[in-house]
Amino acid sequence: MPLHELILGGARSGKSRCAEARAAAWLAQPGQRATLLATAEAGDDEMRARIAQHRADRAARVPRLCTREEPLALPEALESATPEHLLVVDCLTLWLTNLHLPLHGTPLADAQAREHALLAALAAARGPVVLVSNEIGLGVMPVSREARQFVDALGRLHQRVAAQCARVTLMVAGIEVPVQGAR
């Protein structure tokens, strides 16, 4: 069974850099490949600038890490994992947002089916997968019904993904805190 890892943390906690470090270590081994599956969609100029900055920073830190934009088709993208090909998902939070609270249009009617498809794809992945996500359940309960539903949905997804991962890491102020499994 391939080694999967879930890396959780708050905004600017270092979770993406941690995932990039995992990819860099993987790529340091002969014959290995790695692809980052990016889930963000730009809805405004500030988000476009953030995405561009992330791309530039990632390219500078891990030049051999390929990037593929996958805002919705994440379950299908996990099929490309092989024993020699690490996949890094950055991030589950934005993927779930794209399903439940899309920038354009209405929420996907089959959002829960897509979540189940992701879990099935992760279980079937023939190679290692590192998944990044925001731990948003530590703060104040949101006021709106939609926000509370999203916090609940993301928390449930984290639990299900963590159950399929050999390692779970919580990032706090740039420091890795092992939650499950050893590094």
pLDDT at position 140 is: 80
Q: Which domains are present in the chain?
A: 5-180 (3.40.50.300)
Alpha carbon distances (Å) from 27 to 23, 54, 131, 169: 6, 19, 17, 20
Q: Which of 121, 171, 166 is nearest to 21 (CA)?
A: 171
Find the length of the chain: 183
pLDDT at position 138 is: 87
Nearest 5°: the CA angle 64, 69, 73 is 125
**Average pLDDT of the chain?**
93
For residue 121, count other CB atoms closer than 10 A to its CB: 17
Nearest 5°: the CA angle 111, 108, 87 is 55
> Sorting pLDDT into bands at 50, 70 and 90, what band is 1?
low
Nearest 5°: the CA angle 57, 59, 62 is 105
For residue 96, count other CB atoms closer than 10 A to its CB: 23
Q: Which residues are catalytic?
A: 54
The model carries a pTM of: 0.94
> Sorting pLDDT into bands at 50, 70 and 90, what band is 49?
very high
pLDDT at position 25 is: 97
Measured CA to CA, the distance from residue 103 to residue 122 in angstroms comes to: 26
Distant-in-sequence, close-in-space partners of 38: CB < 8 Å, separation ≥ 6 = 51, 54, 67, 68, 69, 70, 90
